Copies of this chain bind each other. A is one copy, B any other.
């Protein structure tokens, strides 16, 4: 008869009395400590099995000072990019017996610091994706979040690896591809104004413009989702550009959808490119030319970096840099002669 502990759940004490040993011995057996007499160990194991005893992880965490859990802060779980990072992170962490706690900030960057702090205290480490957080704030909280791995951000705080995608280079590659196809009027459908990765794209475009003075590049306001792209049709057409670099694949898909509704042909009339290479990108019609980022792998790497930090391994590489690979598909093609434009 199992004497249930106060909480109603079976605890180590119940196993101890059933096996006629002390708590300590039960703990030793459960943790594979071999200094226990085999007979007693067997008795304990039998008792544990009979009572279906499962150690309480909270008590364990308190005693051990670790939770075997890591946290990830994302700005928007609806975004396929962060879904992919989460997926890679979760899979890699699971292989090492770690679980993942998610904290979705729902794009309210003011809450991000608090959210990150709370998540961190429940976990052994944190992966932070906070594209909208100000640099100042990031610098301020980074030290208190250690072990910490940053995605697409950097900090001066020591021992904080950053995994960053070279959006600047990627955008240049894409622009180069369009120019090779004969496009001389490009437009960049920008991301959210305070996005760090958008900044990187803008810097890349500046570099590109400097190297290609003959190409006209129009900057258009945008966002990061379908609707943004869909609503941008008018602005895109007004720009007179024939090659459009959308902030990401979502925006590109929205744009293509909008262009389609207007009866325009992609890439016949206008070439459209995305960024990220989300799983759906190759299934759009036409299939989307994009800057492919190994996003899932990025999540996986985030875990490896974090693991090194948690294990206090000194030899961990201090982050990593990912170069997007230009993935040419069917949404880009040769430029046709410039159309007449509204402001031309």
Q: Which residues of A contact B (CB under 8 A)?
A: 7, 52, 54, 56-59, 61-62, 65, 67, 69, 77-78, 83, 86-87, 90-91, 94, 99-104, 106, 117-119, 121-122, 144, 226, 253-254, 257, 260, 279-280, 283-285
Q: Which residue of B lies closest to A56 (CB)?
A: B121
Which of A61, A69, A78, A122 has the most B CB atoms < 10 Å from its CB? Answer: A122
Name the B residues within 8 Å of A99 (CB-CB): 101-103, 118-119, 122
Interchain CA distance A83-B87 in the complex, whole Å: 10
Give 5 CB contacts A-B under 8 Å: A7-B65, A58-B61, A69-B122, A77-B87, A254-B283
Q: Which residue of B lies closest to A115 (CB)?
A: B94
Beta-carbon contact of A121 and B77 below 8 Å? no
Name the B residues within 8 Å of A104 (CB-CB): 87, 90-91, 94
Beta-carbon contact of A283 and B122 below 8 Å? no
The listed residue (B65, B101, B257, B260) touching A101 by CB distance below 8 A is B101
Give the shortest distance, in Å, between A58 (CB) and chain B (any CB).
5
Beta-carbon contact of A87 and B78 below 8 Å? yes
Taking A58-B61, A90-B104, A91-B106 as known contacts, 6 extra A-B pairs with beta carbons closer than 8 A to each other, sorted by chain A number, are: A57-B121, A69-B101, A86-B102, A253-B283, A257-B285, A285-B285
Give the shortest distance, in Å, between A44 (CB) and chain B (any CB).
20
Give the shortest distance, in Å, between A43 (CB) and chain B (any CB).
24
Give the shortest distance, in Å, between A54 (CB) and chain B (any CB).
6
Name the B residues within 8 Å of A59 (CB-CB): 62
Beta-carbon contact of B58 and A279 below 8 Å? no
Beta-carbon contact of A101 and B100 below 8 Å? yes
Q: Which 8 A-B pairs have the closest CB atoms?
A: A285-B285, A77-B87, A58-B61, A57-B122, A58-B62, A257-B283, A90-B104, A101-B101
Name the B residues within 8 Å of A253 (CB-CB): 280, 283
Interchain CA distance A41-B100 in the complex, whole Å: 36
Beta-carbon contact of B77 and A90 below 8 Å? yes
Give the shortest distance, in Å, between A129 (CB) and chain B (any CB).
15
Give the shortest distance, in Å, between A202 (CB) and chain B (any CB).
26
The listed residue (B7, B58, B90, B117) touching A58 by CB distance below 8 A is B58
Give the shortest distance, in Å, between A7 (CB) and chain B (any CB).
6
Name the B residues within 8 Å of A57 (CB-CB): 118, 121-122
Beta-carbon contact of B58 and A226 below 8 Å? no
Interchain CA distance A69-B52 in the complex, whole Å: 23
Interchain CA distance A101-B78 in the complex, whole Å: 17
Q: Which residue of B lies closest to A72 (CB)?
A: B102
